[in-house]
Amino acid sequence: MKKMLILSSNMLRIVLRKKSYLFFFVIFPILGMVFSLLNNKMAPPRTLNVGICDSDHSRISGDLIRSFQTQKSFKVRRIPETKLGDGWLTTGKLECLFIIPQGFTNRVIAGSPGRITIYADKNEETAVWIRSYLNIYSKNLAAIGVAAGGNQVAFYRLYRDFQNQPPLSIQKLPDRRKDKQVVLQSIGLLILAIMFGSGLVANQIIDEKRTRTFSRVLTAPVSAKSYIAGNILTNIIVIFAQVSLVLILTTQIFRINTFISPLLLFMVLMIFGLVAISLGMMIVSVAKDRMQMNMYSYIIIVPTCMLGGCFWSVDMMPRFMKNIANFFPQKWTLEAIERLQNGDSPDKVLMDILIILAFGVLFFVLAAYGINRNKVYRAS
């Protein structure tokens, strides 16, 4: 134990002397988080391009169209029936197109919500957003129809009274879902920094093998296992300091709301840190030199972070890519954090944590196997 601590403190001094490491450990995730949040605040509100084809040509359908035109979230374009086949969605001119069918007014007067056909681009959220709005609107009309007993005169009298009601007092609430997603992507950059940082510390083994420092260390009464354990301990200390410092700066200095308890966020990131360390050791066990180590790190870390949701939300990806994301620990880490952001208790994310730990165990086993097969380590 004493030898391991001595080796760890020596490695820690070497790591801290390299200023480039400071960039990956602290500055990079802080800059990424601050940039993401500022970019989110400065970005203009998103407007949805909606096309509406009115086949009913009635007062009710006209009021429905005007209700869309008054919404700041929608940019409405009226589409004639003769131009429905002009590829509005495929060319990207519109994100959503819906058709008010002929007889829509008669159906709502009879007390039945009129069925409106909705076409949307590949973004599933677009159709859900529009469908939700239309369902509420048409159900309100159908409720008036039921109250009127299907009588057209009574319907329009009630409808006029409904329109003449004094406007409700509206209080706009902030869109926390978007803010949470931005924070989650910022944490994704921190996860990327943790993975590269653990690789940099593990790289110390490769460097000392190249300079023969590793061989000289082993001439002393120190085993290869103690040396590797010392490197792992150094990695744990570095990740502990990295995560602690980043969280303190973001939550206490920059006052960024992460929508999650800092302690819970720290614990989840530290658990992922163990996975990053085990992955770094696995790469070290097969890499012959620093060039191979860097190559393997980039090949493994960058694509898995992309598919695991560190750069963008997994929900934005096609179904087959979502299935692939399940094989990467980054996805489960971000999912656990997102669920905690949404108010789930820690015991509800226990399965996510166990899956993350399973990845760590797998990588440690593969690393141990690779180290045992490596003649350099085995000779000692």
pLDDT at 16: 73
Based on the domain organization, do 89 and 221 belong to the same domain?
no
Residues 314 and 344 grouped into a single domain = yes
Q: Name the average pLDDT for the chain.
A: 81
Pick from 166-170, 190-194, 195-199: least confident:
166-170
CA dist 284 and 278 (Å) reads: 10
Most confident of the ranges 23-37, 42-56, 104-118: 104-118
Domain that holds residue 253: 2-41+176-378
11 and 55 housed in the same domain: no
Asked, for residue 255, whether it belongs to a domain, the answer is yes
In a domain, 10, yes or no: yes
**Do 126 and 194 reside in the same domain of the chain?**
no
In a domain, 35, yes or no: yes
Q: pLDDT (tens digit, 9 = 90+) per residue, 123-163? A: 656 667 777 888 888 888 888 889 888 888 888 888 888 77
What pLDDT, on the 0 to 100 scale, is given for residue 193?
87
Phi-psi region of 87 (alpha: psi -120 to 50; beta: other; left: phi over 0): left
* Pair 20, 138 in one domain: no
170 belongs to a structural domain? no
Bridge partners, residue 119, by sequence: 97
Number of domains in the chain: 2
Q: 94 is written with which tokens?
A: 């519109």
Global pTM reads 0.68
7-11, 108-112, 313-317: segment of lowest average pLDDT: 7-11
68 lies in the same domain as 24: no
- Residue 358 reports pLDDT greater than 90: yes
In a domain, 154, yes or no: yes
For residues 34 and 62, the model is more confident at 62
**DSSP-H helix ranges across 211-260:** 213-219, 224-248
Residues 224 and 242 in one domain: yes
**Domain end marker among 124, 142, 163:** 163
What confidence tens digit (pLDDT) does each residue in 213-223 have?
A: 656 665 666 66
Q: Are residues 87 and 17 in the same domain?
A: no
289 by DSSP, 3-state: which?
A: coil
pLDDT one-digit tens code per residue, 138-147: 888 888 889 8
Average pLDDT over residues 54-61: 88
pLDDT digits (tens, 9 = 90+) for 328-352: 999 999 999 999 988 888 888 999 9
Residue 193 tokens read as: 């920094």
**Whether residue 185 sits in one domain with residue 137:** no
- The span from the CA of 274 to the CA of 258, in Å, is 22
215: tokens are: 């061989």
For residue 380, what pLDDT is reported?
A: 45
> Is residue 169 a part of any domain in this protein?
no
133 shares its domain with 186? no
Q: Are residues 145 and 185 in the same domain?
A: no
Question: What is the phi/psi pair of residue 108, to 5°?
Answer: -70, -30
* CATH number of the domain within which 109 lies: 3.40.1710.10
Of the candidates 163, 192, 210, which is a domain's last residue?
163
CA atoms within 13 A on the CB side of 4: 12
Q: Are residues 190 and 270 in contact, defined by beta-carbon separation less than 8 angstroms?
A: no
Residue 379's pLDDT is 46
- Name the residue among 176, 165, 164, 175 with its Cα closest to residue 73: 175
Give the domain-ending residue among 140, 163, 186. Answer: 163
63 within a domain of the structure (yes/no)? yes
pLDDT (0 to 100) of residue 332: 95
Q: Would residue 171 count as lying in a domain?
A: no
Mean pLDDT of 36-52: 69
Same domain, yes or no: 62 and 123: yes
Give residue 202's pLDDT band: very low, low, confident or very high (50, 70, 90): confident
